[in-house]
Amino acid sequence: MAKYTSIGGQALIEGIMMKNPQKKTALAVRKPDKTIDISFINDKSIKDKYPILKLPIIRGLVTYIETMIQGYKAMMKSADISGFTDIEEENDKPKDPKKESAVTAVIMTIGSVLGIALAVILFLGVPRYAVAGLEWLIGSPFSKVVRSGIEQLIKLAVLVAYMWGVSFMKDIRRVFSYHGAEHKTIFCYEAGLELTVENVKKQKRFHPRCGTSFLILMILVSMIVSTVVQMIFPTVYDIAWLWIIAKVLMLPVICGLGYEVLKICGKYDNILTRIISAPGVWMQHITTKEPDDDMIEVAIAALKACDEIEDNTQEETQEDDNI
């Protein structure tokens, strides 16, 4: 019997993280010896300590930040377990696990900082100056609505181009395939079917509650919020650096609103939610790929572990891990 679930997940390096807000969060990662490692994350949320953070809009921002932190740590852990970060030392010298973990942490931290800087330039700076350039070319300023619309279209184009470009990288493509396995497994579970490879393979790989859809929703919500702010403070946009700061300050509201819309689209299936979800679902043609059987097995193991379903999957480890 079909059912709604709040279970969500994230594709990792040779693995998948599944999160059940009511129970636990589990990581399933394929090890170099082909067995599946199962571990659990201590995912206590700050919202449990401060109930006010569970209020609509606010909870979206908090959830997004916590998800980013948890996802980063899970990705690092999966890289270690899968052997992705193995460092081949000269003369077959023994490896130092602590050294390898430190190198991995440094590399991923630098990558995250550069990623944030690049995101600010691409999604805040480029649209602003691109619109200014277009206004200069035509010799006339755009209206506030047209201006916001063009900025968001540029953001969307940059996002699609970036995702499309990285999808050709071998390692990223495998992560996208695990992303597909995650969606298919959740769909199978929500359909009330037995979690088998064959049942999962029959499911769709495009899910309306996906993080990809969230990114698209944030762009659409950003257009509305930006237009409203320009109408209330018409002179802010004319000062480029001040407008970029204003856009950064708007992010919490945009993030919170996008989260609420995403939850509605994931819970209800009607013509309105389908229209809203359509751009994000389309984007998943890039960010999800068809998984192989081994990837589906990992996804099933992760979902069974996070939902406490009886599982016969071979497990190498099963322990609480405070990451």
- Quote the tokens at residue 3: 């059912």
Burial string for 276-314 (b: 16+ CB within 10 Å, else e) reads bbebbbebbebbbbebeeebbbbbbbbbbbbbeeebebe
pLDDT tens-place string over residues 125-145: 777 778 888 888 888 888 877
Cα 210 to Cα 9: distance, rounded to the nearest angstrom: 9
Contacts of 107 (CB under 8 A, 6+ apart): none
* pLDDT of 193 strictly over 50: yes
Closest CA to 240 of 145, 149, 133: 133
User: What is the value of pTM for the model shown?
Assistant: 0.76
- Quote the tokens at residue 224: 């509305």
Element (H, E) at 294: helix 293-306
pLDDT tens-place string over residues 241-291: 787 788 888 888 888 888 888 888 777 778 888 888 888 888 899 999 999
Contact in structure between 281 and 20 (CB atoms under 8 Å): no
Cα 191 to Cα 31: distance, rounded to the nearest angstrom: 30
Cα 13 to Cα 39: distance, rounded to the nearest angstrom: 15
Which residue type occupies 113? V
pLDDT tens-place string over residues 140-154: 888 877 887 888 788
pLDDT tens-place string over residues 297-321: 999 999 999 876 544 444 444 434 4
Cα 169 to Cα 195: distance, rounded to the nearest angstrom: 30
Which residue reads 């942490």 in tokens?
105
Supply angle C-alpha 26, 29, 30, rounded to 5.
155
- State the pLDDT at residue 41: 83
